Amino acid sequence: MRQPIVGMELADIQAALGALPDPPPVFRARQLYDAVYRQRVADLAGISNLPKQLRERLALEFLMGLPAVERRYQSSDGTVRYLLKLTDGKTVETVWMPAEVRSDNAGAERATICISSQVGCPVDCKFCLTALLGLERHLTAGEIVGQVLVAGGTAPVDRLNIVMMGQGEPLLNLANVLKATRLLMDPEGIGLSPRRITLSTAGIIPKIAELGQAPLRPKLAISLNASTEEQRQALMPITRKYHLKDLMEACRAYPLRPWEKLTFEYVLLKGVNDTDADARRVVQLLARLNAKVNLIALNPGPGIPFETPDPARVASFQAIIRRSLPCFIRKPRGLDVYAACGQLKRMETGLMQIQ
């Protein structure tokens, strides 16, 4: 079976080429790595700095390994939801979210790419459509990086932000997530700054400590979503194993870089976790942390037994937290094509599909 190139670090490519009968010169590994990650060439035949004979040989021995675009759904706000097919036929979702063009930088598009770390998700959050899929399998490092290469195309890296907030719990696939992070951050490859990559977790406490020890790692975001232990366990059953008090201790012990804050995400559910008392309890929970809060008014979907709170209720919740901590309301993107946070369930839509 042919190995995929995407997902290999330079040392992996050197070893793979070195294992071939009559291996090519050592410098060819660097050229191949550069073409795949820095130039973002989409197929082996397009690597023009390799001799044609070597390209043909590589095509016999290896796959490029990029996921295939099965469908693309275009939202009215410019967001694109990609349904990507993997080599085993499984599918996963990736979302491209363009930002508004700044007036001082006409024509330069900034964007965020929301990528998945697993096919489906094992966490079973009661307000999330992805939870209804269950877990099918982990993604490889190549399948994680491949989402960025496909959705990002040749967009300049200083215009891209990556959030690991798609399907899956990244910390339950940490080895592959960290390898993908190294590839995304390598200045000789894709070259993204660590400031531009964020990992979101439901709060897998032992893995938070492990992530903090990684030499190259994304920023950390914690999916909080509740102000009490009982409330959080009801909304996020996996947290019955990882208690709120212990999570706060793990966050206090987390080794933040000088420029870094912890992010806490809070999905507001009408009449469930959105009261002023909840907001005050969130402030108390986070009082000793260098943190900020992102509020997300529930993005609805079929089978989700909760409602979206009124804008005035969201604003009141934000105002209480902002007295003590930076607090932002995350604007929903791609609602009309099921691309918003918590909506990734491989849904078909009657709206525009780009062929």
Active site residues: 93, 341
Q: How far apart are CA 262 and CA 31, in angstroms?
A: 38
> What is the longest distance spanned by two Cα atoms in the chain?
70
Sign of CA dihedral 156, 259, 94, 295: negative
Distances (CA, A) of 198 to 113, 205, 253, 275: 11, 17, 19, 28
CB 167 within 8 A of CB 128: no
DSSP 7-61: T--HHHHHHHHHTSSSPPPTHHHHHHHIIIIIS--SSGGG-TTS-HHHHHHHHHH
Q: Which amino acid is at 3?
A: Q
- Return d(Cα 298, Cα 344) in angstroms, integer: 13
Tokens coding 317: 């919740």
**Is the CB of residue 236 less than 8 Å from the CB of residue 223?**
yes
Q: How does strand 197-201 pair with strand 219-223?
A: parallel
Of 140, 128, 153, the residue nearest 39 (C-alpha): 153
Dihedral over Cα of 271, 242, 339, 220: its sign: positive
Q: Are 10 and 183 in contact (CB under 8 A)?
A: no
Instruction: Report how far residue 280's alpha carbon sits from residue 324's, in angstroms, rounded to the nearest whole number.
Output: 10
The dihedrals phi and psi of 104, each to the nearest 5 degrees, come to -90, 5
Residue for token pair 């967009």: 155
DSSP β-ladder status, 111-114 and 291-297:
unpaired
